[in-house]
Amino acid sequence: MSENINYPMTIAEKIFSKASGKAVKAGEFVLANIDRAMTHDITGPLAIDGFYEIMASKQEKKVWDPSKIVIIFDHQVPADSLNAAANHIKLRKFSQEQGILNYDVYEGICHQIMPEKGHVRPGDLVVGSDSHTCAYGAIGAFSTGIGSTDMAAVFATGKLWFKVPDTIRFEVEGKLPKMVYSKDLILHLIGDIGVEGARYQAAEYAGSTIHSMSISERMTISNMAIEMGGKAGIIEADEITAAYLEERIPDYKFDPYWKPDDGAKYSEIRKYDISKLEPQVACPHNVDNVKPVTEVEGTKLDQIFVGSCTNGRFEDIEVVAKIMGDEPVAKGVRLLVIPASRTEYLKVLKAGYVEQFMEAGAIVEAPCCGPCMGGSFGLLGDGEVGLATSNRNFKGREGSPASFVYLSSPATAAASALTGEITDPRKV
């Protein structure tokens, strides 16, 4: 896009300017055209009801553009109740009637599938009826979570109103120390700024540390923008993004426009040197209750869950496999590994890790959200303590309100699987 704009813009301002067809600044209200809309098996059924309600007086009840909507089955798969089965039937029927692409049971978690299958490009405005839709900021898009009723309006019109958010810029420099990963970095940022620190703002993650990361590592960071209250978590597209997209989108051409202008106005610029960062753990019951692993070492665990849209990719699972080697899972602790998509699962399988995990006493499940939000299986009971590579640890998040969830990187999860208690991965 090459509009004549005479003031410097953040990435969010550029994307909302394109989406609303006029140059806009943070704080303005816009009616924006949506490039992509994603919904899933939990929030989709309500969006469909809302859509038909909006269309009640119309003869032709068609969505605005079926090629821009994606429906994904991931939270309750395969159906774990009659209610879930009914929701699945409703989504399949709607996809078929409207000509919408759907990824059925076990294709993968929505936030993995959207970038993986090439549904997101830098500069896109993407909405999803799920709070971690901010994950596609890793591709340089402005993507954000919306409710089912907003999604119904998007289905009907392809438009949604927004207040163009202010942007907080996080500039991160330094090489991550050994056994310290992008998950440790984002937990550190959230611990520092707090769960409301970026409320209704876009986060721009920048600096040499971020730009040396793979898309998988970036996805972990963008995914958790919502855990600091952020509306989006954007990383300027670079040659690593371009290589990722060229593999997935046949006509993809890198557009250097989708970066912040020099002199763009930020509500705040926060600078970090992470060359001495320790592995981080978010402790019960808040994502910003973050401590260095050394402060919680020795906490006894009942279950360890490696997976979710935050850290369920091949790279994450490979870290676990390599740290564990041919050692068994410690007695008394259950290790659940859930790759984030069918593609990621196949990579794990072909690398021989499924066999390795099964021999170690772990279980490898088919792709889905798993116990991440206390959904279909793997729940924690009263008094149980879990460690997860996912993104939330609110009371009851993984099952009983009387259970405890710690969050960490896959490396810390692997080290802890070997001992049955929270363990510093630098010590194994």
Provide the binding-site residues for ligand IPM, judged by CB under 6 A.
Answer: 42-43, 75, 130-132, 145, 373
Give Cα separations from 98 to 206, 296, 383, 392 (angstroms). Answer: 40, 51, 47, 34
170, burial (CB in 10 Å: exposed 0-12, middle 13-18, buried 19+): buried
CA 163, chain centre distance (Å)? 23
Peptide bond before residue 78 is cis, with ω within 30 degrees of 0 = yes
Q: Which two tokens stand for residue 112?
A: 């993995």
Site string for ligand SF4, 117-156 (x = CB under 6 A): -------------x-x------------------------
Q: DSSP H helical segments within 169-234, as ranges?
A: 182-193, 208-211, 215-223
Annotate 87-119 with b (16+ C-beta within 10 A) or e (fewer): bbeebeebbeebebebbbbbbbbbbbbbbbbbb
Q: Confirm whether residue 134 is marked as ligand binding.
A: no
Quote the least distance from Cβ 412 to ligand IPM, whole Å.
21
Residue 308 interacts with ligand SF4 (CB under 6 A)?
A: yes
User: Binding of ligand SF4 at residue 309 (CB under 6 A)?
Assistant: yes
Choose the contact partner of 405 out of ligand SF4, ligand IPM, none; CB within 5 to 8 A by kind.
none
Q: Which does 43 bind (CB under 5 to 8 A by kind): ligand SF4, ligand IPM, none?
A: ligand IPM
Q: Which does 341 bind (CB under 5 to 8 A by kind): ligand SF4, ligand IPM, none?
A: none
Q: How far is the CB of 359 from ligand IPM (least distance, A)?
A: 31
Please tell me the distance from the alpha carbon of residue 56 to that of residue 68, in angstroms, as a whole number. Answer: 22
Question: Distance between CA atoms of 385 and 382, rounded to whole angstroms?
Answer: 9
From ligand IPM, ligand SF4, none, which one binds at residue 42 (CB under 5 to 8 Å depending on kind)? ligand IPM
45 binds, among ligand IPM, ligand SF4, none (CB under 5 to 8 A by kind): none
Lay out the site mask for ligand SF4 across 41-80 (x = CB under 6 A, - = otherwise): ----------------------------------x-----
Contact call for residue 354 and ligand SF4 (CB under 6 A):
no
Task: Single out the residue of 373, 388, 405, 422 in contact with ligand SF4 (rule: CB under 6 A).
Answer: 373
Q: Are the beta carbons of 8 and 265 closer than 8 angstroms?
A: yes
Partner residues linked to 282 by β-bridges: 290, 407
372 labelled binding-site residue: yes
Dist CA 212 CA 44 (whole Å) = 36
- DSSP letter at 161? E
Query: Which amino acid does the sequence have at 380?
Result: L
What the block records as the tokens of 123 is 């500069």
Peptide bond into 188 cis (omega under 30): no
Q: Which residue's C-beta sits nearest to ligand IPM?
A: 131
Pairwise CA distance, residues 218 & 310, whole Å? 10
Query: In this chain, which stretch among 78-86, 105-113, 145-153, 185-193 interacts with ligand SF4, using CB under 6 A?
Result: 105-113
Contact indicator for 261, 245 with CB cutoff of 8 Å: no
Pick the closer one to ligand SF4 by CB: 390 or 393. Answer: 390
Q: Which is nearer to ligand IPM, 122 or 374 (CB)?
A: 374
In the complex, minimum distance from the CB of residue 100 to ligand IPM, in angstroms, rounded to a whole number: 19
Using DSSP bridges, classify how beta strands 36-40 and 69-72 pair: parallel, antiparallel or unpaired.
Answer: parallel
With tokens 């929270």, the residue in question is 422
* Residue 369, annotated as binding a ligand: yes
* Interaction partner, residue 87 (ligand SF4, ligand IPM, none; CB < 5-8 Å by kind): none
14 binds, among ligand IPM, ligand SF4, none (CB under 5 to 8 A by kind): none
Residue choice 390, 393, 416, 423 for contact with ligand SF4 (CB under 6 A): 390
Three-state DSSP class for residue 213: coil
Nearer to ligand IPM, 46 or 101 (CB): 46
Residues found near ligand SF4 in the complex (CB under 6 A): 75, 109-111, 130, 132, 308-309, 369, 372-373, 390-391
